[in-house]
Amino acid sequence: MKKEFWIFLGCGVFFAIVAPIYWVISPHEISGTFPLGMAALLFFMVAFYLWFVGKEIPARPEDREDGEIIDGAGELGFFPPYSWWPLFAALAICTLVAGIAIGWWMVMMAVPFAAITLVGWVFEFYRGRHAH
């Protein structure tokens, strides 16, 4: 986590330096300065998270100077298999957003489908072939 922390901190410092320079060079343009400042804040937020989490976990092989590739072997975590729920959830949300532009009757039809797909996506590992 140390390397990642320094990368994000460096990017945050870069954007924090560039934002006021852009403000001065441009004719006080807010539409470019504000996103640069927000990018600096977002990079600082991620850097703080990595610093905070990096203190709590033991040193990873990537962080050690004497780390070998074999030190990182083993189970990396749980990766879900294929799922159809994200596709149907995206279609339901697209229908819901299109309903805002087309008519509220379409929103009323899309809300139940969006709720069903969201519940199905959340609970897909509680039943069926991939149940735990």
15 and 53 in a single domain? The answer is yes
Residue 91 vs residues 108, 110, 118: alpha-carbon distances, Å = 15, 9, 11
- Tell me the pLDDT tens digit for each residue of 85-95: 999 999 999 99
State the pLDDT at residue 55. Answer: 83
Examine residue 52 and state whether it is found in any structural domain, yes or no: yes
**Structure tokens that stand for 91 in this block:** 């279609």
Model confidence at 34, in pLDDT bands (50, 70, 90)?
very high
> Which of 5-19, 35-49, 71-85, 103-117 has the lowest average pLDDT?
71-85
Rounded mean pLDDT, 34-57: 93
132 belongs to a structural domain: no
Q: Structural domain of residue 28, as residue ranges?
A: 2-64
Q: How many distinct structural domains can be found in the chain?
A: 2
The helix (H) or strand (E) run that includes residue 93 is helix 85-102
In a domain, 72, yes or no: no
Answer yes or no: do 59 and 90 share one domain. no
Residue 75 falls inside a structural domain: no
For residue 37, give the amino acid letter.
G
